[in-house]
Amino acid sequence: MRKVVSILACMAVGISIVMILIFLIPSQSIKHIVLDFKGKSATIQTKATVIEELLSELEIEMSPSMTVYPDQHTKLTHGMLISIKQRVPVTINYNGEKILLQTDRSTVEEVIREELGIVPTLHDYLYPAASDPIQEGSNIIFQTAFQVSIQQNGTQIKRWTTPGTVRDILQKHNIIVGEDEFVRPSLDTRLTTENTIEIIEFLSDKEVQTEYINYSVIKQESDDLMVGQEQIIQEGQQGIIEKTFHVIEQDGKETSRILVSEEVTREPSNQLIAVGTKKQVERQNPSIQDHLPSIDRVPPLIIDREGKETMLVTATAYTPDCLGCTGITKMGIDLRHRPNIKVIAVDPEVIPLGATVYVEGYGKAVASDIGSAIKGKKIDLYMHTEEEALRWGRRQVQVTLLDS
């Protein structure tokens, strides 16, 4: 049966065997070797010339998961230290990348230094601690730090940080973003290398914009005109509406505008056209100027816009991750799993929950949510990202109830 000398468990037996060998080996060729086997040491006397012979002499078989320092072919010298270690599996999460390896290093810091070739700094995040021992199945988290430049209110500071979103980095350094400020890159952007974060204050101004309201063309039947004949009775005139906007600028460029108010300064005048219905019985050539129709007795053919209820409301915007939000509407819609849906929060006393509406500038949506601040003629529009919500801002818009 093969005999395996265990330096760790049977130190006394091993030393006895070696002492017996000493008397059989000429003293001039004996070397004293210190053997460190899996963390425990013993002094060995041997006549072997290289490490490989010593291991064979001690009947120690090297498995693929074991390492020996120095190399097995190294020539033995008096007082040499030989180390035999067992490699164990460890996992390293390095800046979000998962690395699986086997190592015979003793501490967390040694693994980072020797296996990754990186010297950890005080700013890096390392868990467990650098001096903690390595065990089989150890899970190491290592994030290398980098500097970010943060610009706000005309000042610039530099801070060390580890990978994370802009929001996480600002919160880590207790930097508050005001309601009238914009962050670039956006708060949800993940930073992994040196970068610049800008916190920019909005500059705003009011601007009055004139727009024209198209007139309608109304045709009236007239039995004073022949079939196929038409006559303009009243020329149409466009109406005028003045809209006041709150214009927001960033870096000297307009980024968005919010409708504050609108006023119709001139109502449109419809164009009236008489359409002939008189059939020709005999050849005649009447003068059109002698047969102008009477507008009072001719009913209009064009009616209003389907009788839908329309109201002017104040519209703001929100995201599923806003303060106090759960991401699930009052009617049970999970906004995080349906980012493209269009829903609004309403005051049910004004717009019923479940109603389908059309919001000017937003489109067709469902009233499926409520909010503590949504009272009266106010609505809150769901936006997928914070950037979209900021771009919308606060506006006065027309809302039409399509059904309720």
Q: Which of the four pLDDT bands, split at 50, 70 and 90, describes residue 305?
A: very low
Question: Domain 309-403 is classified in which CATH homologous superfamily?
Answer: RlpA-like domain (2.40.40.10)
Residue 280 pLDDT: 61
Question: Comparing 146-201 with 309-403, is the CATH topology the same?
Answer: no
Residue 5 pLDDT: 41
Tell me what the pLDDT averaged over the chain comes to.
82
Question: Domain 205-297 is classified in which CATH homologous superfamily?
Answer: Resuscitation-promoting factor rpfb. (2.20.230.10)
**pLDDT average, residue stretch 89-105:** 92
Flag whether pLDDT at 232 surpasses 80.
yes
Flag whether pLDDT at 90 surpasses 60.
yes
Neighbours of 340 (CB within 10 A): 5
Amino acid at 140: I
**pLDDT average, residue stretch 370-393:** 90
- The percentage of the chain sitting over the pLDDT mark of 70, rounded to a whole number, equals 84
Residue 262 pLDDT: 87
Q: Which of the four pLDDT bands, split at 50, 70 and 90, describes residue 356?
A: very high
CATH of 11-86, one of 3.55.10.10, 3.40.190.10, 3.10.20.30, 3.40.30.10: 3.10.20.30
Helix (H), strand (E) at residue 112 = helix 108-115
pLDDT in tens, 236-253: 899 999 988 877 776 667
Flag whether pLDDT at 16 surpasses 50.
no
**pLDDT average, residue stretch 43-49:** 90
Residue 132 pLDDT: 94
Give the CA dihedral 58, 59, 64, 67, nearest 10 degrees: 0
Residue 80 pLDDT: 93
**pLDDT average, residue stretch 220-237:** 87
Residue 251 pLDDT: 65
Residue 328 pLDDT: 87
Flag whether pLDDT at 290 surpasses 60.
no
DSSP state of 142: E
pLDDT in tens, 119-177: 999 999 999 999 999 988 999 999 999 999 999 888 999 999 999 999 999 999 999 98
Measured between alpha carbons, how far is 369 from 348 in angstroms, rounded to an integer?
Answer: 9
Contacts for 380 with CB less than 8 Å, ≥ 6 apart: 315, 316, 317, 318, 344, 345, 369, 371, 373, 374
- What tokens were used for 185? 């890159």
Strand order in the sheet with 31-37: 40-46, 31-37, 81-86, 66-69
Flag whether pLDDT at 22 surpasses 50.
no
Q: Which of the four pLDDT bands, split at 50, 70 and 90, describes residue 179?
A: confident
Measured between alpha carbons, how far is 304 from 382 in angstroms, rounded to an integer?
Answer: 31
Q: Are 213 and 241 in contact (CB under 8 A)?
A: yes
Class of domain 146-201 as given by CATH? alpha beta
Measured between alpha carbons, how far is 370 from 299 in angstroms, rounded to an integer?
Answer: 45
Would you state the CATH architecture of domain 88-143? Roll (3.10)
**Least confident range of 13-27, 272-286, 338-352:** 13-27
Flag whether pLDDT at 281 surpasses 60.
no
Q: Which of the four pLDDT bands, split at 50, 70 and 90, describes residue 371?
A: confident
Q: Where are the domains of the chain?
A: 11-86, 88-143, 146-201, 205-297, 309-403
- Predicted TM-score of the model (pTM): 0.40
Q: Which of the four pLDDT bands, split at 50, 70 and 90, describes residue 381?
A: very high
**pLDDT average, residue stretch 19-32:** 58
Bridge pairing between strands 203-213 and 239-250: antiparallel
| Residue linked to tokens 């039995």 | 223
- Give buried/exposed letters for 184-223 (b at 16+ CB in 10 A, else e): beebeeebeeebebbbbebeeeeeeeeeeeebeebebebe
Q: Which of the four pLDDT bands, split at 50, 70 and 90, describes residue 289?
A: very low
Measured between alpha carbons, how far is 344 from 329 in angstroms, rounded to an integer?
Answer: 9
